[in-house]
Amino acid sequence: MTVPRTCRAVVQEGPRQLVLRELPVPEIDDDAALLRIEACGICGSDAEQYAGLLPVTFPVVPGHEPLGTIAKIGDRAARRWGVDVGDRVAVEAPIPCGRCRVCLAGRYTMCRARGTFFAHGYVPLATAPGLWGGYAEYLYLDPCSILHRVRADVPAGVAVMFNPLGAGFRWAVEIPDTGPGDTVLVLGPGQRGLASVIAARAAGADRIIVTGLTRDAPKLALAERFGADHVIDIEREDARRRVKELTDGRGADVVIEVSANAPEPVAEALHYVAPGGRIVLAGVKGFKSVPDFVSDLVVMKEARILGAFGVTSPAYAAAIRLIESGRVPLAEMHTHEFPLEDAERAIRILAGEVPGETSIHSCLVPAR
Ligand SMILES: [Zn+2]
Ligand SMILES: [Zn+2]
């Protein structure tokens, strides 16, 4: 595969400032590789980064959900990763050191050995060799980048769902230990909520319920397509009462909170959870505190509240197996693909800033 000397990349120069630039494609040594990017998924974190809400140094090439084919690789890197030129891989966002205490404990998404947010899409352009993010035609793969092989025959827009689906498996299955017999309640039907439904269904959950707003009707319908047994429109129905009715008065064994920004659903989760149940908090709220948080409900129900930050390798592996199986009509969730020059529009649609346009899962497709 011939690699050009320069490539196009979207560079974020400040809050709400994206510029398409031509950047040098770096030389690589024996331990690294270059990825030719086929698609880069975008999610709520991209919208936060675009708005300037994340502690990221500008300029930076954003994009933390890349999928592509190996364009160039050092011999040692090829042996270590077990991949070669032409292989298709999904790339995890974190670039962990692999040696520190949190890495050794398996919590490598929290590794800070090389600084806060040392991850694809967040390392500044000024840190050599610059092409760290997925909003570009080529991506630099660091010796500590984590790769997963993906079969070449899956359409890129579906294959790149390894990221949201991986989150579904980690947040809705792995962390709360969901299995047969569990009733799972998912708060919020966005891409992470739908991924949680798919993962909980794959894990054999007994009953799945999803809540949303009136304007979420198409997403709630999709949740049913993916295996939800019941959906609740919280603006039209008394959600606490409906959850009680649907669970014979017990509540949900597992509650997954994946709604963005609004802290209220966190307090509501305490009312929905069954005695001995688990609540997973994965939606970030901009560091707002939670009003009406009744801690006595945690005590009296012996509920467990579990935080979820990012996704780890076993969940990605489960997601990729499910994608490759073709068992779930994932393409129905994939709503938009954008060329690099439309990155800004892609993010604004995702953030709900473009009237009349709603996206569920979307990605950038950098290849010309
Ligand atoms: Zn993301
Ligand atoms: Zn580490």
Ligand nearest to the CA of 95: 2
Classify residue 55 by its DSSP letter: -
Ligand nearest to the CA of 118: 2
What local confidence, expressed as pLDDT, does residue 107 receive?
A: 92
Contacting residues for 306 by C-beta, under 8 A, at least 6 apart: 175, 176, 278, 279, 280, 281
- Per-residue pLDDT tens, the chain, 368 aa: give them: 789 999 999 999 999 999 999 999 999 999 999 999 999 999 989 999 999 988 899 999 999 999 999 999 999 999 999 999 999 999 999 999 999 999 999 999 999 999 888 999 999 999 999 999 999 999 999 999 999 999 999 999 999 999 999 999 999 999 999 999 999 999 999 999 999 999 999 999 999 999 999 999 999 999 999 999 999 999 999 999 999 999 999 999 999 999 888 899 999 999 999 999 999 999 888 889 999 999 999 999 999 999 998 899 999 999 999 999 999 999 999 999 999 999 999 999 999 899 989 899 999 999 76
What local confidence, expressed as pLDDT, does residue 260 receive?
A: 80
How far, in Å, CA of 179 to CA of 203, rounded?
Answer: 6
Contacting residues for 32 by C-beta, under 8 A, at least 6 apart: 73, 74, 77, 140, 141, 142, 143
> Where are any strands of DSSP class E within 142-250?
147-149, 183-187, 207-212, 230-233
What local confidence, expressed as pLDDT, does residue 177 receive?
A: 98
- In terms of Cα–Cα distance, which of 85, 83, 88, 109 is closest to 97? 109
Q: How far is the CA of 63 from the centre of ligand 1 (A)?
A: 8
What local confidence, expressed as pLDDT, does residue 210 receive?
A: 98
Q: How far is the CA of 66 from the centre of ligand 1 (A)?
A: 10
What local confidence, expressed as pLDDT, does residue 157 receive?
A: 96
Q: Locate 217 and state its tokens.
A: 């009707």
What local confidence, expressed as pLDDT, does residue 368 receive?
A: 64
CB 78 within 8 A of CB 84: yes
Secondary structure element (H or E) that encloses residue 217, with its range: helix 217-225
Classify residue 72 by its DSSP letter: E
How far, in Å, CA of 314 to CA of 162, rounded?
Answer: 12
Q: How far is the CA of 95 from the centre of ligand 1 (A)?
A: 15
Ligand nearest to the CA of 350: 1
Strand bridging mode 66-73 / 33-42: antiparallel
Q: How far is the CA of 50 from the centre of ligand 1 (A)?
A: 12
Ligand nearest to the CA of 113: 2
Q: How far is the CA of 101 from the centre of ligand 2 (A)?
A: 7
Q: How far is the CA of 93 from the centre of ligand 2 (A)?
A: 14
Which residue in the block uniquely carries the two structure tokens 């800004």? Answer: 344
Classify residue 210 by its DSSP letter: E
> Where are any strands of DSSP class E within the chain?
6-14, 17-24, 33-42, 66-73, 88-91, 138-141, 147-149, 183-187, 207-212, 230-233, 252-257, 273-281, 304-307, 334-338, 361-364
